[in-house]
């Protein structure tokens, strides 16, 4: 999987047969994080979702994805945690999330 340079702090691990992929996307302002969540809600609106104030959980077939608001070195970022039994599914879902992020970034320059 090819990941854009704007994604940082990528980590993956496998424990007890479950793959976990963590990605962090830089976001310029706190308000833009909620716009990112709204775009993700729209992209995956056919799947079960659980939204809280600073978090969105998407239940995709064989995947659980948690998007949280995080802080890294005094900057806001979107922390994405993807959990699945196979690494291939994690990578495919990460690509979908990245496509939404980069589309939003190209429209609104959210990664300044």
- Spell out the domains of the chain, with CATH numbers in brackets: 8-108 (3.30.530.50)
State the average pLDDT over residues 12-38.
91
**Is 82 within 8 Å of 94 (Cβ atoms)?**
yes
**Is 62 within 8 Å of 48 (Cβ atoms)?**
no
State the average pLDDT over residues 66-88.
89
**Cα–Cα distance for residue pair 100/21, rounded to 1 Å:** 17
Q: Is the pLDDT of residue 1 over 50?
A: no
H or E, element range at 96: helix 87-108
What does the chain come to in residues? 112
pLDDT of 31 reads: 84
Residues 6+ apart with CB under 8 A from 31: none
State the average pLDDT over residues 8-32.
88
Q: Which two tokens stand for residue 100?
A: 């939404």
- 38 confidence band (pLDDT: 50, 70, 90): very high
Q: Is the pLDDT of residue 53 over 80?
A: yes
Q: Is the pLDDT of residue 101 over 60?
A: yes
Supply the mean pLDDT for the chain.
87
State the average pLDDT over residues 45-69.
95
pLDDT of 32 reads: 86
pLDDT of 74 reads: 66
Residues 6+ apart with CB under 8 A from 29: 76, 110
**Is 24 within 8 Å of 4 (Cβ atoms)?**
no
């Amino acid at each position: 999987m090819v990941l854009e340079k704007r994604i940082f702090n990528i980590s993956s691990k496998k424990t007890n047969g479950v793959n976990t992929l963590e990605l962090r996307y830089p976001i310029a302002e706190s308000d833009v994080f909620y716009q990112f969540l709204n775009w993700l809600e729209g992209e995956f609106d056919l799947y079960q979702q659980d939204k809280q104030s600073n978090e969105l959980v998407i239940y995709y077939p064989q995947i659980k994805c948690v998007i949280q608001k995080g802080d890294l070195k005094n900057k806001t970022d979107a922390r994405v945690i993807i959990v699945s039994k196979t690494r291939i599914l994690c990578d495919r879902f990460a690509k979908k999330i990245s496509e939404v992020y980069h589309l939003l970034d190209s429209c609104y320059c959210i990664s300044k």
